[in-house]
Structure 1
């Protein structure tokens, strides 16, 4: 029964994608398959979602500067006032982008949060934003 549910959910995610049935480019096709694998992985990892919130918070913290994030938070050395926080800037970017993404599924009138987040994650705007934070990387490889 569980395999049917997971397979059904993965199939619904594929059917509900807002892109055309056939990708316009090889990169779009690869991204679509990458997204499928990501969503299928989450479905396998969280057959019941009681631990999802806890795991999302832990992962977010691990990627933050205070966890093991590679970006530093710029501060004035005298006042300790933050001049740029790439993590807050990223959260702000997502906060602005998320409401703009329709990401409708077959359940009309309901945004699919996972699809909306994947749409942002795979966007050129997000990639450009992330690359714009490169000057805040600790010891970047050049």
Structure 2
């Protein structure tokens, strides 16, 4: 009986660890999506290899790629009720102007620096945690 109880405790402990890991991976994936969208939205709109790479990364982190968050839809009308990916995009785009980093040469902002500032902010971490409700 003790062996059965011990085995049950070990299995439940492993499952909890796996769930914590899965949760952190989902959050990290959404953060990475936000970084790729921030850069994609704010870099010059040219046909560069970098923009193609960012677009590919964005698609990979999105729900239709390997994203883990679910898009909530009305079952009858199929209207989108909440899209964690769109909400993340909106979050980083809205914070970009305040996070802008003027370049020393005075020729604009550093999109990479501004997007990293957003990515590493406690505010972004808090926002990403609010999207946990949309995990399966």
Q: What's the TM-score bracket when you normalise by the shorter of the two chains?
A: 0.5 to 0.7
Q: Which structure is higher in helix share?
A: 2
TM-score (norm 2): 0.62
Q: Which protein shows a greater Rg? A: 2
C-alpha distance in 2, partners of 1:57/1:51? 10
How big is the shift at 1:109? Answer: 4.8
Are 1:74 and 2:67 matched, yes or no?
A: no
- For 1:95 and 1:50, the matched residues in 2 are separated by 21
The aligned residue for residue 117 of structure 1 is 115
> Within 2, Cα distance between the matches of 1:83 and 1:64?
17
> Hey, what does 1:38 align to over in structure 2?
none
**1:51 alignment counterpart:** 49
Q: Map 1:1-142 onto structure 2 (within 5 A).
A: 50-138=48-136
CA deviations on 1:25-79 (whole Å, 9 max, x unpaired) are xxxxxxxxxxxxxxxxxxxxxxxx9411111000000000000100010011111
RMSD, matched Cα: 1.5
Higher normalized contact order (CA 8 Å, seq sep 6+, divided by chain length): 2
- Structure 1 stretches (4+) deviating beyond 6 angstroms? none
- Normalising to structure 1: TM-score of the pair? 0.60
Alignment partners' CA distance in 1, 2:48 and 2:56: 14
- Determine helix, strand or coil for the equivalent of 1:133: helix
| Structure 2 residues without counterparts, runs of 5 or longer | 1-46
Gaps of 5+ in 1: 1-48
